[in-house]
Amino acid sequence: MYSPFAARVTAMDIRNGLEVQPGRELLSLDAPNQAGERDKAHALADAYARAARGSLGLSEGPAAQRAVAEQQASRWAAEGRAREAELLRLRLVASHKGEVRDLDPLVGQDTWLGPSQLIAMVVDGRRWRVEALVPEHDRQRLSLESEAVVIVKGRTRKLHGQVRAIDSSPVKRLPHMLLAQDHGGPIALNPTRPKAELRPAEGWFRVLVEGESDTPLAAVREVKVHFEGTRESIAHNWSASAISVLIQQAGF
């Protein structure tokens, strides 16, 4: 959960462990600069509308002057509506049922927030997402909505999900250091680049798999995935290759 732009906390009803339902308001924010720009746009729209009606003495003037005033009134009215829509985003609500986690302890009343600052996460432990990394030859075999079986490290029960997205270009950075060989993972890093960049030595493509579980899962776990391939490319129904990836609970 993030602020849409620089804003100040005016009301806060959130804590770690809190169970929330969809639509519950968690934070209210205020952005004086945005509000000022909205008020300015409304004032200019009203001024140009009065000018177009002739209240500023333009009723006897050329038609071109009235047309310009009408255009400016329309422009600033649209700007005011856009600013108003932006301000509505300052009311942060839960988009789905879940539990509040990782609340920033520094966030409180009158705290200023930046758009890149993580405020908290609302996590549904039964909905999960896997970001799998596959080599080029396996990526070509996959298709959207195809089935995938996820084997979570430390669990005997398999998870069943579907492929939701397949990247067309290789990742430039591993999504987590646990995937790197230097940290016990299966993927070699590019030896010509600093290790902190987590840049893989070969081309790996991200495949997003989503599903639901009967029981909550840990926030981040190492897993292996078996993908169902197309009939044209795989003789057997399931791809024999598996890759260590990460599983995360769905949040916002």
**% of the chain exceeding 90 in pLDDT:** 16
Contact by Cβ (8 Å): 224, 158: no
- Please state, rounded to an integer, the average pLDDT across all residues of the chain: 78
Domain ranges of the chain: 7-113, 123-250
176 or 174, which is more confident:
174
Contact by Cβ (8 Å): 186, 243: yes
Amino acid letter for position 47: A
pLDDT at 62: 67
In three-state secondary structure terms, 183 is: helix
Contact by Cβ (8 Å): 95, 223: no
Q: pTM for the complete prediction?
A: 0.49
pLDDT tens profile 4-36:
888 899 999 899 989 999 889 999 988 877 777
Q: What Rg do the C-alpha atoms of the chain give, in angstroms?
A: 26
pLDDT at 229: 60
127 or 209, which is more confident:
209
At 243, the pLDDT band (50, 70, 90 cuts) reads very low
Residue 124 has pLDDT above 60, yes or no: yes
Task: Please state, as a whole number, how many other Cβ atoms lie within 10 Å of the Cβ of residue 12.
Answer: 19
- Mapping DSSP onto H, E and C, the string for 22-75 reads CCCEEEEEECHHHHHHHHHHHHHHHHHHHHHHCCCCCCCCCHHHHHHHHHHHHH
pLDDT tens profile 63-114:
777 777 778 888 888 877 877 777 778 889 888 888 898 899 999 999 999 8
pLDDT at 191: 93
pLDDT at 237: 33
pLDDT at 201: 92
54 or 57, which is more confident:
54
In three-state secondary structure terms, 83 is: helix
Distance between CA 115 and CA 104 in Å, rounded? 14
Q: Hey, which bits of 98-158 come out as E strands?
A: 98-101, 112-113, 121-135, 147-152
104 or 250, which is more confident:
104
pLDDT tens profile 176-206:
777 888 888 888 999 999 988 899 999 989 8
- Mapping DSSP onto H, E and C, the string for 164-213 reads EEECCCCCCCCCCHHHEHHHCCCECECCCCCHHHCCECCCEEEEEEEEEC
pLDDT at 60: 53
Distance between CA 90 and CA 155 in Å, rounded? 40
Amino acid letter for position 25: E
pLDDT at 213: 77
